Each structure stands twice: as structure tokens, then as C-alpha cells.
Amino acid sequence: MKYLRQVATIAVKDVRAELRTKEAINASLAFALMILLLFSYTFNPAQEMMREVSGGLLWIVFAFAGTLTLNRSFARELPNDCLDALIAAPIPGSALFLGKCFASFVLVLAVELVSLPVFGIFYNVHWTAQLPALFGVLLLGTWALTVIGTIFSALTVNIKLREVMLPMLTYPILMPALMAAMRLTTLLVTGQPIADDDMAWLKMLIGFDVIFTAVSLALVETVLVG
């Protein structure tokens, strides 16, 4: 119980700080809408082929926009040496990590939920066809994005090139999760059921979340303290 309260305290603090300054979420949202618009120039949005690539397009947007938010996750604590204070605080490193994870999760999810209807309108896609399942894939994919993003945000926070290093490190690791999310999203958005073959992708996405949450929790003390 005490542990959960510590996690919640960090998460609420982060979300509150972000909602007051809006430094990451505004940039992230503007960026997401910008890419959605830019993609419409690469192919004719009215074509049927558009639906085939819709899942891929959406997750590229989410991954790019999410990185902007995740970059700030630990970098936000650098001024006034707040990060040192957080590490010295009487809470386990894993609680700090999970708190930051949940905060980023909420923020990235918010950006996604705003981009989804915009995507539906711009590209004429009936994304509401299988809403509960789509929401489930969104949650799983976003958790993969945030758990990897947060741990590497902590790893790169003291590096001069951190804005460059974070995507370099996270995208190759995220590739299986993104592939699974893209495939499942394409199916759900185009109104197809998830057949037996594609259940494997769902299992992989869940497995990815479980494995990398565990690895991150095991290594978080090393990442924070060095």
C-alpha cells in the first residue's frame, strides 16, 4: 500500500507539473497533427490503399509524438537539481520509475486520443468500428512505448545529446511492439476481426510489455544511480 502511494505521488506530481507548464504535451500534440497532415501528401487519402497503411501511420505518429513527451520525463527534473533530490528521496527507485511511467502513459495516451478522431476525419477511416478492442491495443502499445521510453529517458538524462540518443535507443528496441500494434490497429480500424493468426501479435504485445516492464524494474536502480 505504501509503495502504491509513493508511485501515485510521483505520477500525480508529474502530471500536475505538465498540466501547469504544458511544455511537452503542446509540442507533442502539435507535432502529431503536423505528421498526420504531412502524410496526406505522400499518398491520396481517398484511396482504398490508405486503410491498409492506417495502423502503421498511426503508430509512427504515436511513436514520434510520444518521444517528445518521454524526452521531458526525466529532463524536467534537471533544473535546480530536482533529479538528485528525487533519487535521494526515501522511496525505492522502482517507485520513482513506475510513477514517471504512469505519468508519461497518461500524457501520451491523451495525445493519442486527440489524434485518433483527427486521423479518422482526415483519412476517412471508421476507427470507431471496434472501439473497445482498439482501446485495448492502444493501452498495450502505449505502455510498451512509455516503459521503454521512460527507462531510456532516465539513462540518457545526463548526456549532452539526449534528444538525439533517446529515439536512437528506443525505436529499435520498440520495433516488435510497434509491429504488433500496427498490425492489430490496421485490422481493427478496417473492421476486420482478429483472426487466429493475428492472435499471436496480441500475445507478443502482451509478452513484450511483461518482459520489458520486468527488465526495466530490475535495472532501474543501476540506471538511476550508475
Partner 1 sequence: MLASLFDASVWTALIAAAVAALASILFLRTRHFLYDSLALSATETGLVLIAGGIVAGAISGHAGAGLWWTWDARVTTALVGFLLYAPYLMLRRAIEEPTRRAASAAVVSIFAIFDLPVIALAVNWWLARRAAPVSVDAGWMILPLALLGAGFTWIRLRQEQRRRARDAERRTAQEI
Q: Which residues bind partner 1 (CB under 8 A)?
A: 155-156, 158-161, 165, 168-169, 172-173, 175-176, 179-180, 183, 200-201, 204, 207-208, 211-212, 215, 219, 222-223, 226
Q: Is 81 in contact with 212 (CB distance < 8 Å)? A: no
CB of 147 to partner 1, least distance (A): 11
In this structure, what C-alpha cell is assigned to residue 17? 507539473
CB of 199 to partner 1, least distance (A): 12
d(CA 122, CA 120): 6
Q: Is 220 in contact with 97 (CB distance < 8 Å)? A: yes
CB of 94 to partner 1, least distance (A): 14
CB of 155 to partner 1, least distance (A): 5
| Smaller CB separation from partner 1, 18 or 74 | 74
Cβ-count burial 59-92 (b if 16+ within 10 Å, e if not): bbbbbbbbbbbbbbbbbbbeeeeebeebeeeebe
| Smaller CB separation from partner 1, 20 or 160 | 160
| Smaller CB separation from partner 1, 18 or 77 | 77
Cβ-count burial 198-223 (b if 16+ within 10 Å, e if not): beebbebbeebbeebbeebbebbeeb
| Smaller CB separation from partner 1, 115 or 170 | 170
| Smaller CB separation from partner 1, 1 or 88 | 88
